[in-house]
Amino acid sequence: MSLNEWSGVFTALVTPFRDGRVDFISLSKLLHQQAENGIRSFVVNGTTGESPTLEWDEVKEIYRFVRKEMGGEARIMVGTGSNCTQRSIALSLEAESWGADGLLVVTPYYNRPTQEGLKAHFSALAEAVKIPVMLYNVPSRTVTKIEVETIVSLSKVKNIIGLKDASGNVEDGIQILERCGEGFYLFSGDDMTCMELALAGAHGVISVASHVLPREFVHLMSMAMKGAEEVRMKYQQYHRFLEVLYSESNPIGVKKALYKMGILASCELRLPLTEMSVEQSRRLYFEMDALGLN
């Protein structure tokens, strides 16, 4: 995959389950719904895929299934982050051996490394592989934030080609774009602020809501990346839907939405995540009906 293909909309895939196992029939329906609406770029084993509760053998099986269904033209990143550097390297090398186009590597969580620790962690991983590495900054989940100075430093490391920033901090994103320069790809990881970041020069979004609004996300992100200011007004119509989609921990809401649309056979999650509450489900369905999402 050439570096100039790192742009546009990537869907951070859910992992459909049925009776405790990966539901590949539902996954196939989802993948073809995405492709028919212009999305052929995916993240496997990300937050939305319930990575904490997937076995690595399942990740491998999911990756191979997505590749087989979507073919060689699909762009697939695999989440290989861990709070143990050696484990993250081992997972990354294995994903590389499968033929993954890139690696999405989350900030180490729980053990709370310093910024120097983050530099050492990501550098060691990037030096161990030969495929593109995208950093993943999501401080709401990991507690530790990758500071702008650290990102600028890491942008010079071979194989580190970009950042998924799920902080929602557009000001930081603008600094990153200005200071990291060409060849470093900034993706929004926050559906609420992704269009604003794209208007500022970001290269795309790794999205959850694109499961439900694939065609709309492709169109609006393309507009935003071209600097079309009117995208703000067009995107406003989805804000109430996005608020309720994220009212409970992701991917609870998006699985409920995909179930309503008939794409998933079940909105089953793996514990400790549980199905969306009745109250929030009603709110979600109301907003979906208002947008004609059935």
Which candidate in 164, 255, 256, 260 is catalytic? 164
CB neighbour class for 140 (10 Å; exposed up to 12, middle 13-18, buried from 19): exposed
CB 11 within 8 A of CB 259: no
Q: Is 136 annotated as catalytic?
A: yes
pLDDT digits (tens, 9 = 90+) for 60-111: 999 999 999 999 999 999 999 999 999 999 999 999 999 999 999 999 999 9
pLDDT digits (tens, 9 = 90+) for 186-223: 999 999 999 999 999 999 999 999 999 999 999 999 99
Helix (H, G, I), strand (E, B) or coil at 15: coil
CB 221 within 8 A of CB 8: yes
Q: Which whole-number Å values give the CA distances from 134 to 77, 92, 184, in the listed order? A: 9, 12, 9
Q: Is 68 annotated as catalytic?
A: no
Which pLDDT band, with edges at 50, 70 and 90, does 4 fall under? low
Model pLDDT, residue 1? 46
pLDDT digits (tens, 9 = 90+) for 159-171: 999 999 999 999 9
Its pTM stands at 0.96
- Numbers of helices and strands, H then E, in the chain: 13, 10
Give me the torsion for CA of 183, 189, 195, 200, rounded to 10°.
-40
Which candidate in 63, 136, 185, 246 is catalytic? 136
From the options 3.40.50.450, 3.20.20.70, 3.10.105.10, 3.30.1330.60, give the CATH code of 3-228. Answer: 3.20.20.70
- Sorted by where each begins, the domain ranges of the chain are 3-228
Counting other chains too, the contacts that 21-26 makes at CB distance below 8 Å and 24 or more residues apart are: 22/58, 22/61, 22/62, 23/264, 23/265, 23/266, 24/65, 25/265, 26/263, 26/264, 26/265, 26/266
